[in-house]
Every structure is written in structure tokens, then in C-alpha cells.
């Protein structure tokens, strides 16, 4: 019995010495009461401050980025709106340009057609003076169409060849004599008194002969066109110091003060000039002149008094090889 109880008591044997599953393995190593390690409060607060500062920096950076993105978005919308307005303006200008060109070509051609029908159909037989009068009018209207087409071709040339036009030293006598002959005939047709004063010598300019001729033709043509029969147009071409001076003075309809700043705008024709003059035109002349003068680094000015006439003055710097004129040969 004793042995049995002893066997019962000692039966668990090694099992009784196995680890308690509820007992932590390091329980023996736990610090005894009163000997806890101190907590690093200062270090923890420092780490919290660093984290907080970093968080604020990131938030500030994000806010700044979003604000910049919003600003750029607003700028993009404004720019898109501005570009849309420009496109709309260009579209309207193109439509207007097409209409103006069509009208300006159609009107004189229709007039010429009607005149030729009257003459060819024999309505003026036995009246040679009237026939000559109508044919002279027809020639004048054809001349307007040719001038318009020349302006349009010149405008196209300037658009495509800005800064690439071939320039060369020019003898101004050779450029101006044909202009004088052409304008003298035109003034006679318009019954306008015409005079041209030549200087003792004309300087050499550096530029495009075709473009510079267009400058002189357009200025004198405008003066004659807007001067009533019996009026006068005076042209002066001479050397003035180191510049070439070209001045045209007329006794035409003149330009009101409020419209003078617009005289070089494309399609501009003075309101009173349109009302009181029968001259046709799209208003390309002075706009082209200004662009050509600028391309040759010259200067142009317009002075006018309504009802008394207009004065247009152009200056170009004399060309001197290797001098101030250089490869431009013009005055800016």
C-alpha cells in the first residue's frame, strides 16, 4: 500500500517539473519592485516635436503646392480665354478681309463692265467726247483694281518674307523717276495740280527697290486720291544731312485729330474722308507703308488738319559702306 501511495505520489515524476504554461519564461528575470528602469521622457518629447515639425512641413508643402496648382489653373483658364478671344478676333478679321477684298474688286469691275456695255452697244454713237469721258472713267477704275491687287500681293510678300527680303544699295533717282512719271499722269486725270521738287543730289539708300517704290507710290497716290479737283499736291525729295527726306503735302480733305493715331491701322479710312470723298480703297496703303518703313528702320510721320490737307514725311538714313547705314542703310 505504501509503495502504491508512494508510486501514486511520485507518478508525475518529471512532468511535475515541466514549465508552467501560465508562467512567463522571463519571470525570473523581472526586475524586483523598486528597481524599474527610468523612462526617457525628454527623448520621447524630442522625437514627438521632430515628428510634429516634419508633419507641419509636409502639410505646408502640400498646401503651397495646391495653391500654386490652383493659381496656375486660373492662369491657364485666363490664357485659354485670351487665346480664344484672339482666335475669334482673327476669324472676324479674316471674314471682314474677305468681304472687303471682294467688294473692292467687284465694285470697280462692275462699273467698267457697265461703261463698256454702253460704248460697245452704240448708245453714244456720234458723241466721241462722252465716249472718251466714260472710257477714262473705266481706265481709272481698272487702275484702282490693279493698285488693290498690288497692295494685296505686297502684304502677302511682307507676311512671308519678314526679315528675309533682299536689300541692296539703291540709286534713288532710278527709283523715283518712274514714280514721278506715273503720279504726274494720275494727277492730270484727277485734275489736281502736281509739283515735284528735286534736291541737287539724292543719297544712296540700302533696301528693297520694289518695297521702297511702293512706299513712295502709296504716299503720293493717297495725296492725289483725297484731294479734290483744283487742289494741289507737292512732293519734295532731297538729301537732308545724313538722311533722305521724302515729303508730300496736299490740300485734300485732311484727317480729324481723333483719327490721326489710327492712320497706320490696316483697313483704316478716315470717316470724313469716306463721307466727303469719292475715292475708293480698303485702307491698306498707309498700313503697308508703315510696315515697309519699319522693315527698313526708317521713320514716318503724318500731320493733318481736317479740311486743310495732310503732310506725310518719311526719312531714311543714307547708305555708307561700312558706316552707320551698314547692312540696313536706314534710319531707326
In order of their start, the domains of the chain are 80-157 (1.10.287.130), 168-317 (3.30.565.10)
The pLDDT tens digits for 209-247 are 888 998 999 899 889 988 999 999 999 999 998 899 999
Contact 200/194 with Cβ under 8 angstroms? no
Q: Answer yes or no: is pLDDT of 186 > 70.
A: yes
Cα(306)–Cα(71) distance, rounded to whole angstroms?
Answer: 51
Retrieve residue 58's grid coordinates.
509636409
Contact 185/194 with Cβ under 8 angstroms? no
Contact 317/245 with Cβ under 8 angstroms? no
What confidence score (pLDDT) does residue 16 get? 46
Residues 79, 85, 89, 92: is their CA dihedral positive or negative? positive
The partner residues of 299 in beta bridges, in order of sequence, read 315
Cα(306)–Cα(292) distance, rounded to whole angstroms?
Answer: 26
The pLDDT tens digits for 66-106 are 988 888 898 999 999 888 888 888 888 778 777 777 877 88
Retrieve residue 76's grid coordinates.
491657364
The pLDDT tens digits for 140-168 are 788 878 878 887 887 777 777 665 667 88
Cα(273)–Cα(225) distance, rounded to whole angstroms?
Answer: 10
Q: Name the more confident of 313 and 270.
A: 313
Q: Answer yes or no: is pLDDT of 127 > 80.
A: yes
What confidence score (pLDDT) does residue 26 get? 53
What confidence score (pLDDT) does residue 265 get? 78
What confidence score (pLDDT) does residue 249 get? 96
DSSP letter at 330 equals S
First to last CA, the chain: 136
Amino acid at each position: 500500500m505504501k509503495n502504491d501511495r508512494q508510486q501514486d505520489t511520485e507518478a508525475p515524476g518529471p512532468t511535475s517539473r515541466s514549465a508552467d504554461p501560465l508562467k512567463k519564461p522571463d519571470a525570473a528575470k523581472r526586475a524586483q519592485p523598486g528597481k524599474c528602469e527610468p523612462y526617457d521622457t525628454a527623448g520621447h518629447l524630442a522625437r514627438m516635436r521632430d515628428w510634429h515639425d516634419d508633419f507641419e512641413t509636409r502639410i505646408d508643402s502640400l498646401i503651397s503646392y495646391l495653391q500654386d496648382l490652383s493659381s496656375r489653373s486660373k492662369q491657364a483658364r485666363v490664357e485659354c480665354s485670351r487665346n480664344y478671344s484672339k482666335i475669334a478676333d482673327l476669324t472676324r478679321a479674316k471674314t471682314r478681309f474677305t468681304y472687303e477684298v471682294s467688294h473692292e474688286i467687284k465694285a470697280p469691275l462692275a462699273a467698267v463692265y457697265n461703261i463698256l456695255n454702253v460704248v460697245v452697244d452704240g448708245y453714244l454713237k456720234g458723241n466721241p467726247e462722252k465716249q472718251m469721258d466714260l472710257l477714262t472713267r473705266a481706265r481709272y477704275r481698272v487702275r484702282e483694281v490693279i493698285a488693290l491687287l498690288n497692295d494685296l500681293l505686297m502684304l502677302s510678300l511682307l507676311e512671308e518674307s519678314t526679315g528675309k527680303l533682299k536689300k541692296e544699295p539703291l540709286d534713288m533717282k532710278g527709283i523715283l523717276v518712274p514714280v514721278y512719271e506715273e503720279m504726274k499722269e494720275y494727277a492730270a486725270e484727277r485734275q489736281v495740280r502736281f509739283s515735284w521738287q528735286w534736291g541737287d543730289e539724292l543719297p544712296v539708300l540700302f533696301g528693297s527697290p520694289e518695297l521702297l517704290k511702293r512706299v513712295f507710290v502709296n504716299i503720293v497716290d493717297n495725296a492725289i486720291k483725297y484731294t479734290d479737283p483744283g487742289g494741289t499736291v507737292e512732293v519734295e525729295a532731297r538729301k537732308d544731312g545724313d538722311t533722305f527726306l521724302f515729303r508730300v503735302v496736299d490740300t485734300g480733305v485732311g484727317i480729324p485729330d481723333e483719327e490721326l493715331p489710327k492712320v497706320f491701322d490696316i483697313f483704316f479710312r478716315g470717316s470724313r474722308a469716306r463721307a466727303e470723298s469719292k475715292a475708293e480703297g480698303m485702307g491698306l496703303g498707309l498700313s503697308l507703308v508703315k510696315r515697309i518703313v519699319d522693315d527698313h528702320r526708317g521713320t514716318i510721320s503724318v500731320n493733318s488738319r481736317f479740311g486743310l490737307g495732310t503732310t506725310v514725311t518719311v526719312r531714311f538714313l543714307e547708305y555708307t559702306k561700312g558706316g552707320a547705314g551698314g547692312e540696313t542703310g536706314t534710319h531707326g
